[in-house]
A = this chain, B = another copy of it.
């Protein structure tokens, strides 16, 4: 039987609110996700919250019922609360009917099985949480093996990244590594490192990519530094016909990832 929390001053509410801040996520090793669609995606991937907050007036919704039952069966706590408190927890005016508190779960590189997928996504010093979440969502769509975050990227467990991922944070393996460690791991097995760059004449549709392809996207403003570009097996660019000199990082990653996927689809037929 879920307990009820109706007071903003409740200590758990205060503690959970702090998870919108990176420092507190790090200290608590936990993060927030919100919305029935994302939490259901998480449940189907076997990820259940330690605390599940749900709106009293949504308790009868079958997906809420399923989340409450699964959370309690896994030893977590379901908490009935008000729309105001859900809004306070998520920082959104319109938070949806559920907010969950999850344990963080980023993987070490050695836990990744590069043979498991033909495409892997790699981001280097990515700054925007929306871009990170969108790249995860795209990674899921193209059947990528996972996302590897190199050097100082934005936190994949930020509320904005989780939201933009639309649940893919729970289904896509995410690893974090310093560049030197990533390079060592990459070169310990097969894999083609393909960097998206503005400083090359190689059109992204010209090469035949070799699985596993590791697609590297650099920092939004600066791209990747020279020593990382030098390590790439290929540097390719997406044609730009207009006035601007670059695409949004998540868009460029997606255009590139679909090229690799489409080459694989043609090879199959």
Binds B, one of A14-22, A208-216, A248-256: A248-256
A143 touches B248 (CB 8 A): no
Q: Give how many copies assemble into the complex.
A: 2
Q: Which of B141, B251, B262 touches A242 (beta carbons < 8 Å)?
A: B141
Task: List which A232-255 residues lie within 8 A (CB) of chain B.
Answer: 238-244, 246-248, 250-251, 254-255
| B residues less than 8 Å from A258 (CB atoms) | 238, 255, 258
A13 within 8 A of B: no
| B residues less than 8 Å from A59 (CB atoms) | none
- CA distance in complex: A241, B168 (Å): 12
Secondary structure class of chain A's binding surface, majority of residues: helix
| B residues less than 8 Å from A250 (CB atoms) | 134, 248, 250-251
A142 within 8 A of B: yes
A247 touches B138 (CB 8 A): yes
B243 touches A168 (CB 8 A): yes
- CA distance in complex: A255, B172 (Å): 21
Q: Which of B143, B240, B254 touches A247 (beta carbons < 8 Å)?
A: B254
Which residue of B is nearest A167, CB measured?
B244
A137 within 8 A of B: yes
| B residues less than 8 Å from A239 (CB atoms) | 141, 261, 265
| B residues less than 8 Å from A248 (CB atoms) | 134, 137-138, 164, 166, 250
| B residues less than 8 Å from A261 (CB atoms) | 239, 241
Closest 9 CB pairs of A and B: A140-B242, A143-B241, A251-B254, A171-B243, A141-B240, A134-B248, A255-B258, A140-B244, A141-B242
Instruction: Return 7 A-B CB contacts under 8 Å, by A number.
Output: A137-B244, A137-B248, A141-B247, A142-B242, A143-B241, A164-B248, A251-B251
